[in-house]
Chain A
Amino acid sequence: MAAHDRVIPLTVVAPDAHEDHDQDLYEVRKKIYPRAVTGAFARWRWATVFITQLVFYGAPWLAWNERQAVLFDLAARKFYIFGLVLWPQDFIYLTALLIISAFSLFLFTAVAGRLWCGYACPQTVYTEIFLWIERKIEGKHLARMKLDGASLTARKFFLKAVKHGVWIALAFWTGFTFVGYFTPIKVLSGEFFTFTLGGWEAFWIVFYGFATYGNAGWMREQVCIYMCPYARFQGVMFDRDTLLITYDQTRGEPRGSRSKKADYKSQGLGDCVDCDICVQVCPTGIDIRNGQQYECIGCAACIDGCDQVMDKMGYPRGLIRYSTLNAVDRHFGWRDMLKRVFRPRVLAYTTILWIIIAAASVTLFLRVPFKVDVIRDRTALAREVEGGLIENVYRLQIMNTEEVPRNFMVSASGVRGLRVEGSQQPLAIGPAATQMIAVRLRAEPEAIEKGMHRIEFHVVASDASGNPQPDIFSIREKSMFYKP
């Protein structure tokens, strides 16, 4: 019985399949016409639509020191994010970002189900925008059904043409904005208006635009149901204390229509008036009253829809509400549900998430924007030069990731009397540039034994006349000195 308690009950619904005793493995897709809904949760969704799209469409147009503020220059392998310039060597920060995103998803899903799917996923956001356009042009859901069922008239053709025209324009703008993160968007605009777009630029604008148009205009809930892997694995993260969209069966059943004035309780009816609003508003076409289903993206449209009906009937709100399976079964209040938020898995996710955020922030803050790699010459390990001195040759790969020119001094230590030979110090490097310099180190043969010796290079920032400025950067890199 205890084992049974941990299972999330899925009520099996067998629509009219009882009469014929076989089934299809493929079915004709039924187009869904979700009814528009207003309410608290719909407002939340529109808020995230506005915020995410303001950032997405707006960011490429911002400027920072005469360059685009957010630009991922793949050809030059430099990734500009406002004042920060990331190089391929900083790839670890992308890893950190991905881990943070993953653990945020785990945490939010464990606490409150598919919040990401319902409110912030691009699939949801663009479907919401495309549905809004569809509604403005073709009318409400019933009008759209009627229009699709009618034979082709001039009016129908006109409405469809306008709708697809607006969709394609928006999709194109989306693709254009996307490519604008990789090619400076002002340059891209110029190229577009003079018909000189590069082949790959044109391809990605069309590809990303087509994906937007196809996914938000045509595919819609099919993406969530058949394609999206996150949709499936989020279901595994639910437990009996996860906030889900829940229909209160004990309160609602038995469902049935009734007169508003009638004493429905004496008729043996529950609170559900069987108005079907919750089914009509559902973007994935399910009936939430059948319990948790894998199609449910947690958008809470049915909560908004049901609350309006409850208000009209004069019943308390929340027949469909955010609740946990334990809360429904055991009649928990908010206080009990809140207490159960602090359960081991949530605490574990939270702890890991904060540790990674803290570690990533600290390393980003302490990041030295000047990088040095020492590459030892490998064929000729050492040579003897005038006066019998031992000389080793190294290549120093210097990377100045900041957008200011720098001067720097190179020295080395680890072997008595070790000195840098020949190069004029201080050395100079341009802004956001990389440079390879050959460095010769010399040591007295008497100072060291034969064989390998650990040494360290010091690269220190300096002013133009060679006065060290170690507070800008001071880097140590290990290498080896060889005496044959």
Chain B
Amino acid sequence: MSDFTGGFWGISVAVITLVSVVACGVFLKIQSTRRPALEAGEQADLHGNVWDGDLQEYNNPLPRWWMWLFYLTIAFALAYLIYYPGLGSFGGTSAWTSAGEHQAEVAQAEAQYGPLFNQYLKTDIVELARDPKANAIGQRLFLTYCAQCHGSDAGGGVEFPNLRDKDWLYGGDPATIKATIMNGRNGVMPPLGDALGGPQAVKEMANYVRSLSGLKHDAKLAQTAAPKFTICAGCHGADGKGGRAVGAPNLTDTIWLYGNSEDSIVATITAGRGANRLIPGQSAMPAHKDTLGEAKVHLLAAYVYSLGGGEPPLPAPAAEPASAPAAGPVAPAK
């Protein structure tokens, strides 16, 4: 609407609308009082027009009370234009808007369906994960909001973690899973090619990383890179077992988010990983607390927990992970 900052269009639309409505009434008045004159000898129930030489139309008059229905529609149109927006930029006396109606419907749906979800908020996630009814709801929510990236079976894929296994980037206890869904995660592996010292150094480091999880590697190249692993150890730990505080993956296990080929590891080190490819500007794992609300996230966390990889709850909720999305400047992925 920014193109229509002046009042001209609004006024001209209003004028055209009003003139059209009034013209309908005038036309109706003319038509209903007109009594077409007939030439001598012409029969009265023919319309009087002749097409194609001999084609004529009968006059089949409509009942007069039907005509008042037409006037009624004109009265309706005028009342409508006063009550609802329709006359140019005039908003109508009812102040109705489609956005307002949508918001009212959302509020109504929230009032209607909110309690269905909210009733589960009181239940602990571990307990909820054993409730088949809650899991059925959780599965439907998962298929709607999560399956696009994590897969319909929650098995993940390249760059999207598998939620069924026991390997967790940030932790698999109920509170952490919930915090991950609520606030999102934006762990990033920075590009380290230059820091390591060029393509040859990266190739050496890739061989070292492969050696950590017992994959086939060139031992000589790996040895050369070993001292430089201090650059990586800040996040992945000196032993390469990863760090959950920043979501740095364990490099010594068999689970690889971006594949374990030398080429893939070289690409990871050289260019980094973790920016959201699908939604520019978004963190890799988006936050859901505003779009879904806590009750649905609670059910989702319970569903994910029920898939088999969940870890026992942390002993004391002293450290509140829900308020601290791991946003370390250097959070690698493998």
Interface flag for A6 (CB, 8 Å): no
Are B43 and A380 in touch, CB under 8 angstroms? no
Q: Which residues of B contact A142 (CB under 8 A)?
A: none
Are A22 and B45 in touch, CB under 8 angstroms? no
Q: When the two chains form the complex, which single residue of A13, A395, A422, A440 contacts B143, counting CB atoms closer than 8 Å?
A: A395
Interface flag for A29 (CB, 8 Å): yes
Are A440 and B155 in touch, CB under 8 angstroms? yes
Are A25 and B34 in touch, CB under 8 angstroms? yes
Are A422 and B36 in touch, CB under 8 angstroms? no
B residues 129-154 touching A (CB-CB < 8 Å): 139-140, 143, 147-149, 151-154
Give the distance in Å from the alpha carbon of A384 to the alpha carbon of B258 in the complex: 11
Q: Closest CB-CB distance, A201 to chain B, in whole Å? A: 18
Q: Which residues of B contact A384 (CB under 8 A)?
A: 259
Are A380 and B160 in touch, CB under 8 angstroms? yes
Q: Which residues of A contact B38 (CB under 8 A)?
A: 21-23
B64-72, B85-93, B99-107: which lies at the A interface?
B64-72
Q: A12-B43, A22-B36, A22-B38 are in contact. Are A379 and B61 (CB under 8 A)?
A: no
Interface flag for B63 (CB, 8 Å): yes
Q: A17-B44, A386-B254, A436-B143 are in contact. Are A26 and B62 (CB under 8 A)?
A: yes
Are B156 and A24 in touch, CB under 8 angstroms? no
Q: Which residues of B contact A379 (CB under 8 A)?
A: 148-149, 151, 157, 160, 278
Proximity bits, A436-464, B CB within 8 Å = 1, else 0: 10111000000000000000000000000
Count, chain B residues at interface, CB 8 A: 41
Interface flag for A222 (CB, 8 Å): yes
Q: Which residues of B contact A15 (CB under 8 A)?
A: 45
Q: Which residues of B contact A225 (CB under 8 A)?
A: 60
Q: When the two chains form the complex, which single residue of A14, A23, A29 contacts B64, counting CB atoms closer than 8 Å?
A: A29
A residues 362-386 touching B (CB-CB < 8 Å): 377-380, 382-386
Interface flag for A187 (CB, 8 Å): no
- In the complex, which residue of chain A has the Cβ closest to the Cβ of B139? A436
Are A23 and B35 in touch, CB under 8 angstroms? yes
Are A28 and B153 in touch, CB under 8 angstroms? no
A residues 321-343 touching B (CB-CB < 8 Å): none
Are A26 and B67 in touch, CB under 8 angstroms? yes
Q: How large is the interface on A (under 10, 10 to 19, 20 to 34, 35 or more residues)?
A: 35 or more
Q: Which residues of A contact B1 (CB under 8 A)?
A: none
Interface flag for B31 (CB, 8 Å): yes
Interface flag for B112 (CB, 8 Å): no
**Central interface residue in A12, A23, A377, A436, by most chain B CB within 10 Å:** A23
Are B63 and A380 in touch, CB under 8 angstroms? no
Q: A17-B44, A377-B147 are in contact. Are A27 and B155 (CB under 8 A)?
A: no
A residues 215-250 touching B (CB-CB < 8 Å): 222, 225-226
Interface flag for B109 (CB, 8 Å): no
Q: A14-B43, A23-B45, A380-B158 are in contact. Are A226 and B35 (CB under 8 A)?
A: no
Q: When the two chains form the complex, which single residue of A12, A27, A378, A383 contacts B156, counting CB atoms closer than 8 Å?
A: A383
Are B254 and A17 in touch, CB under 8 angstroms? no
- In the complex, which residue of chain B has the Cβ closest to the Cβ of A375? B152
Interface flag for B46 (CB, 8 Å): yes
**Central interface residue in B36, B140, B148, B152, by most chain A CB within 10 Å:** B152
Proximity bits, B149-191, A CB within 8 Å = 1, else 0: 1011111111010000000000000000000000000000000
Are A25 and B59 in touch, CB under 8 angstroms? yes
Interface flag for B279 (CB, 8 Å): no
Are B44 and A18 in touch, CB under 8 angstroms? yes
B residues 14-38 touching A (CB-CB < 8 Å): 31-32, 34-38
Q: Which residues of A contact B151 (CB under 8 A)?
A: 377, 379-380, 383, 393, 438
Are A17 and B65 in touch, CB under 8 angstroms? no
Give the distance in Å from the alpha carbon of A175 to the alpha carbon of B32 in the complex: 36
Are B63 and A25 in touch, CB under 8 angstroms? no
Interface flag for A87 (CB, 8 Å): no
Q: Which residues of B contact A271 (CB under 8 A)?
A: none
Interface flag for A394 (CB, 8 Å): yes
Give the distance in Å from the alpha carbon of A379 to the alpha carbon of B279 in the complex: 13
- In the complex, which residue of chain B has the Cβ closest to the Cβ of A378? B148
Give the distance in Å from the alpha carbon of A13 to the alpha carbon of B43 in the complex: 9
Q: Which residues of A contact B140 (CB under 8 A)?
A: 436
Q: Closest CB-CB distance, A292 to chain B, in whole Å? A: 13
Interface flag for B40 (CB, 8 Å): yes
Give the distance in Å from the alpha carbon of A384 to the alpha carbon of B264 in the complex: 14
Are B153 and A25 in touch, CB under 8 angstroms? no
**Central interface residue in A26, A29, A391, by most chain B CB within 10 Å:** A26
- In the complex, which residue of chain A has the Cβ closest to the Cβ of B142? A438
Proximity bits, A23-39, B CB within 8 Å = 1, else 0: 11111110000000000
Q: Closest CB-CB distance, A32 to chain B, in whole Å? A: 12
- In the complex, which residue of chain A has the Cβ closest to the Cβ of B48? A23
Are B45 and A13 in touch, CB under 8 angstroms? yes
Q: Which residues of B contact A22 (CB under 8 A)?
A: 35-38, 44
Give the distance in Å from the alpha carbon of A438 to the alpha carbon of B142 in the complex: 12
Give the distance in Å from the alpha carbon of A377 to the alpha carbon of B34 in the complex: 68
Q: Which residues of B contact A18 (CB under 8 A)?
A: 43-44
Q: Which residues of A contact B155 (CB under 8 A)?
A: 383, 385, 391, 393, 440
Q: Give me 25 A-to-B residue pairs in the complex whose CB atoms sit less than 8 angstroms apart, sorted by A's number.
A: A13-B45, A14-B45, A21-B40, A21-B42, A23-B61, A25-B31, A25-B59, A26-B61, A26-B63, A26-B64, A27-B62, A27-B64, A29-B64, A225-B60, A379-B148, A380-B158, A382-B157, A383-B151, A385-B155, A386-B254, A436-B140, A436-B143, A438-B151, A438-B152, A438-B153
Residues of chain A at the chain B interface (Cβ within 8 Å):
12-15, 17-18, 20-29, 222, 225-226, 294, 377-380, 382-386, 391, 393-395, 422, 436, 438-440
Q: Which 8 residue pairs of A and B lie closest in terms of their CB atoms, listed nearest first?
A: A380-B157, A17-B44, A29-B63, A22-B35, A438-B153, A438-B152, A27-B61, A26-B64
Residues of chain B at the chain A interface (Cβ within 8 Å):
31-32, 34-40, 42-46, 59-67, 139-140, 143, 147-149, 151-158, 160, 254, 259, 278
